[in-house]
Structure 1
C-alpha cells in the first residue's frame, strides 16, 4: 500500500477536495485519494461511522465532521469560513463520487461562490462503471439519479426517459427493484436494459436483456433482488418531432379534458390522427380503456 504521507501530493490551504471513495471494493481507493484524506485538516463525511471504517483500513486518522442531506444547507457557510481561514477539507460520501446522487452540492456551490479552490480527486462512480459494461451506446448518455419511489410518479418518469435519444442511467434500491422492473417491462417492452447489482462487490452481477424479461430474471433467484442497483436503459429510436409536439399539447389539454376529448382537440390543432393521439393520451394517463364510440 502507498504511504498516505508521501510528498507526491501537497494539500493546499483553503482548498476543498472532492474525493471519490470505493463503492464496495476497498482496493478502489486511489493512492492519491489516500494521501489527500491523510493530509487535509478535516474530512466532511456523509456518515462519519462509514467513513471511519474506510479510514481505519488505511490507517488514516484525520478528524471528521458530518455533512449530509439534513444539515448541509445549514453548515455549508461555516465550512466555507473554515476554508477561508486556511483549513483544507476533503468531501466524501458513503460510497462513490460525491454529488452524484449524494450530498455535497450546497457545499461546493458555496465554496465556488466564496472564491475557494475546489479540486476533484476522481475514482469510483457506479453510474459510469455500469455504463462501461452495459454494451449500450456510451458516446452520449443521461444520468437521471434515483427513480421516484411511488409507482405513479415512477411510471411517469420512465415514460419521459423512454423518449431520450441517449442511453439513460438510473439508480434503484433493493426494496423497489422488483416493482421498478415490472414498470420497465410494462412501459418499455422490447427496449434493452442492462441491470447491474453490487458493482465491485463479492456478489457483483449484471445482465443485458429486453425490459420485458427483467421481472422473470429477478424472480428466478431471490438473491438477485439484494444489493444496490444501476440500470442502463437503451436510447429511444428516432421520434417524430410532430408527435413530441402533440404530446405537449395533449398534456395541457388533459389537465382540463377527458382523454378522448383531449385527443380530438389535439388532432384538430396538430393535423395528426385522432386514434393515434388517443392511444398516446392513454399512455400519458396510464389508462387502458377503449376509445369512445
Structure 2
C-alpha cells in the first residue's frame, strides 16, 4: 500500500502536476492552472508549438519540453530524473486533461512507483462537456476514446458495446467520421440515437442530434470539419451470453443461415428478426458488401 499526501510532501522532493488546459476557448483555463504553469520548473507537453500559444497568451515563460507518443520512453526517463532531483513538472496535453486519449500514463506510472507526488488539476474535458449538453442519459456512461482504425477491429470494438446500457462516448477525427458512422449503423443499427459534438467551446461549436442513420446521411453529404466527440445512447438490456450471434457482424450472421440452406432473402429476414432491426437495413448492409467486393 502507498499513501500520498499531496500537500505535505518531504523537503526537496519533486512533484508532478497534471494540468488541464482549454479545449478551445482560452478563457476556460483555471486560475490554479495558470499559477502552476508559471511556478513549475518545466512544462512537459505534446506539441511545444501548441502549448507556446497558450503560454504566450498569458505571458508565461516557463521552459517547455516535448513529451509525446514517439519519445515518451526516453523523455519519460529524463523527466523522472528531474523529479528525483526535486524539480516541479507540469504535464499538459494539447487540449483538455492529460492522459485522456493523450500521452502521460507511463510518466505517471513511473512517478507513482517512486512515491513522487502526482497532483491532478481539474479543468476542461471534451468528453464530459459534450455529454452534459448532448441530451442523452448521463447518469452513467462509458468512455472509449478513439476506436481502432482498421475495419475489422473497429467492428469488433463496436460489437463489444452493443449491450452496454449506458451512454457511450468516443473521439473521432473528421476524416474518419463517416467510416465510424457506417460501422455504427451496421453493428448498432440505424435507429440508435446519437449526438455529434464538434469544435467545442470554439466559434463554430455545433451539436448534431439524430439517429445513426440520419447522422451518416449528413456525413455523406457534407465534409465533416473539426474534432468530434461522438455520443451513442445505450442499447439493449439483454445479456450477450443469451444471444448466440452477439459476436457476429450482420454479414457473418446472414452467411451463417445461408450455410444452413436458407436463401439470402430468407437469411436477411431471419437476421432482421433476431437483431430487432428493419429488414431493409440488413438488406442494405448485405448488398453493400457485395458491391464492395
Measure how far apart 1:132 and its partner are.
0.9
* Partner of residue 104, structure 1: 104
* Partner of residue 9, structure 1: none
Query: 1:263 touches 1:278 (CA, 8 Å); kept in 2?
Result: no
3-state SS in 1 of match to 2:174: coil
Query: 1:250 touches 1:263 (CA, 8 Å); kept in 2?
Result: no
Report Cα offsets for 1:140-160 as digits up to 9, x if no partner.
Answer: 111101122223322232222
CA 1:209/1:54 → structure 2, altered by over 3 Å: closer, same or farther? same
Query: 2:13 touches 2:116 (CA, 8 Å); kept in 1?
Result: no
Q: How many residues align?
A: 256
**Separation in 2, partners of 1:170, 1:262:** 36
CA 1:161/1:241 → structure 2, altered by over 3 Å: closer, same or farther? closer
**Separation in 2, partners of 1:250, 1:192:** 22
* Partner of residue 26, structure 2: 26
* Partner of residue 190, structure 2: 189
Measure how far apart 1:164 and its partner are.
1.3
Normalised to the residue count of structure 2, the TM-score between the two structures is 0.79
* Partner of residue 5, structure 1: none
Report Cα offsets for 1:250-288 as digits up to 9, x if no partner.
Answer: 89xx9xxx8359999xxxxxxxxxx679967xxxxxx84
* Partner of residue 210, structure 1: 211
Normalised to the residue count of structure 1, the TM-score between the two structures is 0.79
CA 1:250/1:152 → structure 2, altered by over 3 Å: closer, same or farther? closer
Query: 1:197 touches 1:230 (CA, 8 Å); kept in 2?
Result: yes
Report Cα offsets for 1:197-249 as digits up to 9, x if no partner.
Answer: 11111100002211110022234543xx00000011101121145425x3478
Alignment of 1:150-165 (within 5 A): 150-165=150-165
Alignment of 1:1-293 (within 5 A): 13-187=13-187, 188-222=189-223, 225-240=224-239, 242-244=241-243, 246-247=244-245, 259=256, 288=286
CA 1:192/1:248 → structure 2, altered by over 3 Å: closer, same or farther? closer
CA 1:250/1:138 → structure 2, altered by over 3 Å: closer, same or farther? closer
**Separation in 2, partners of 1:175, 1:94:** 20
Report Cα offsets for 1:116-142 as digits up to 9, x if no partner.
Answer: 000011111111111111111111111
Gaps of 5+ in 2: 1-11, 262-269, 276-284, 288-293
**Separation in 2, partners of 1:186, 1:105:** 33
Query: 1:15 touches 1:83 (CA, 8 Å); kept in 2?
Result: yes
3-state SS in 1 of match to 2:96: coil
**Separation in 2, partners of 1:110, 1:247:** 42
Q: What is the RMSD computed on CA atoms of the aligned residues?
A: 2.8
CA 1:278/1:217 → structure 2, altered by over 3 Å: closer, same or farther? closer
Moved over 6 A (4+): 248-251, 261-264, 275-280
Query: 1:17 touches 1:118 (CA, 8 Å); kept in 2?
Result: yes
Report Cα offsets for 1:63-109 as digits up to 9, x if no partner.
Answer: 01110001112222221121111100000011110010000000001
